[in-house]
Structure 1
Amino acid sequence: MYERALRWAAHRHAPWYLTALSFFEAIIFPIPPEVMLAPMSLAQPKRAFWFAALSLAGSMVGMFVGYALGYYALELAMPLVERLGYAGQFEQIKQQAAENGLLLLILAGFTPVPFKVFTIASGAVGMPLLPFFIGALIGRGKRVFLVALAIRLGGARAEAALRRHIEPIGWIALVLLAAVVGWLVWQAQGA
């Protein structure tokens, strides 16, 4: 499956394939869209952010399907969660989604747990749609746009480093983002 995704990245319809892969990865596929996004961005660096936007759009639509599965048909989604090996953690993720779903989704983009597990759990607890949308947009968006930015700036070396270190890089980016947001909030309160 991984090798097929790499071949799709070189196809003339690659942007459509990337969007479709991102959609299905958000629901069922185990292959992350970065396996197509990275080589596509490397081949056409000026279009890297466009490719990231397409990936994010496909993921967002897929995440709403995952949310709907959790909300309306959890019994259909549970075999997938079990097959992924996260049935034991699912109850804890559901509880976290019920307590602070927005933050959970923002952080979920760089955890080893597939994002689809978080979206299904968010639907299962009936998380309000606006916080779900915002959290999913930031959670997935920071990951795909970080890939696009790194490849746009660093080329093939950045792509190889990203492949090895995406999670730690993501956590560092998240800490920096939180620091900037915290500073802006602090400035707004002082003004």
Structure 2
Amino acid sequence: MLRRLYDRTMALADHPHALWWLAVVSFAESSVFPIPPDVLMIPMILARPSRAWLIALVALVSSVLGGLLGYAIGAFFYEGVGQPVLQAMGKGDAIEAFNTRFNDFGFWAVLMAGITPFPYKVITIMSGWTGMPLATFIATSILARAVRFFAVAALLRVFGAPVRNFIEKRLGVVFTVFVVLLFGGFLATRYL
């Protein structure tokens, strides 16, 4: 089933309204959809490299807006259902401690999920659920998604089709290593 969904998403790249479809996929992927927008971006940029920056911008804006939907899902679902259930089970204090720990590292969680292959939707929902400050969530989402989408656009614009295999198979690993090094550098400067 997932393969069929992937193939259908790829087919949208040839559609006359591909930018709109990219916006829909980018928006939905940030909260509920399992296929990343890169699946549409890559063939769209390869077909029209001159539109690489526009394609990345559409993915960025739509993804951040979809992230706000994920944030709202987390915020409203937790308040309406999750919190009363946890209070009834006597686990309300444990969840508050988790929320505080998550929000202490929230910037890094959103940054890592926004750049790497980790499902961004998980972090958008958790950010709303834990009550992460909305301004932090939005700013970090913009930064992370811009890095990801504009890096893909730049690589495809400069190197074209030969870099497609690299992007599809290894770019997530490169971004993950980048974030780990960035986080490690932050910790080193803070504690050394």
Task: Pick the TM interval, shorter chain.
Answer: 0.7 to 0.9
**Identity percentage of aligned residues:** 36
1: CA distance between counterparts of 2:100 and 2:113? 14
Q: How far apart are residue 76 of structure 1 and its match?
A: 8.7
2: CA distance between counterparts of 1:155 and 1:31? 22
Q: How far apart are residue 161 of structure 1 and its match?
A: 1.1
Give the alignment's TM-score, normalised by structure 1.
0.78
Amino acid at match of 2:36: P
Contact in 1 for aligned 2:23/2:62 (Cα 8 Å): yes
Q: How far apart are residue 5 of structure 1 and its match?
A: 1.0
Find the counterpart in structure 2 of residue 97 from structure 1: 102
Find the counterpart in structure 2 of residue 116 from structure 1: 121
Structure 1, gaps ≥5 residues long: 79-90, 183-191
Amino acid at match of 1:100: F
Q: Secondary structure at the match of 1:136?
A: helix
Q: Does 1:63 align with 2:41?
A: no
1: CA distance between counterparts of 2:51 and 2:179? 24
Q: Structure 1 stretches (4+) deviating beyond 4 angstroms? A: 75-78, 91-96, 172-176
Distance of aligned partners of 1:25 and 1:106 in 2 relative to their CA distance in 1, 3 Å threshold: same
Give the alignment's TM-score, normalised by structure 2.
0.78
Kindly name which structure, 1 or 2, has the bigger radius of gyration based on alpha carbons. 2
Residue-by-residue CA offset, 1:135-173 (whole Å, 9 max, x unaligned): 111222211111111100110011111111021222355
Q: How far apart are residue 102 of structure 1 and its match?
A: 1.3
Question: Aligned residues, how many?
Answer: 169
Amino acid at match of 1:128: P
Find the counterpart in structure 2 of residue 73 from structure 1: 77
2: CA distance between counterparts of 1:77 and 1:27? 18
2: CA distance between counterparts of 1:155 and 1:126? 41
2: CA distance between counterparts of 1:46 and 1:112? 26
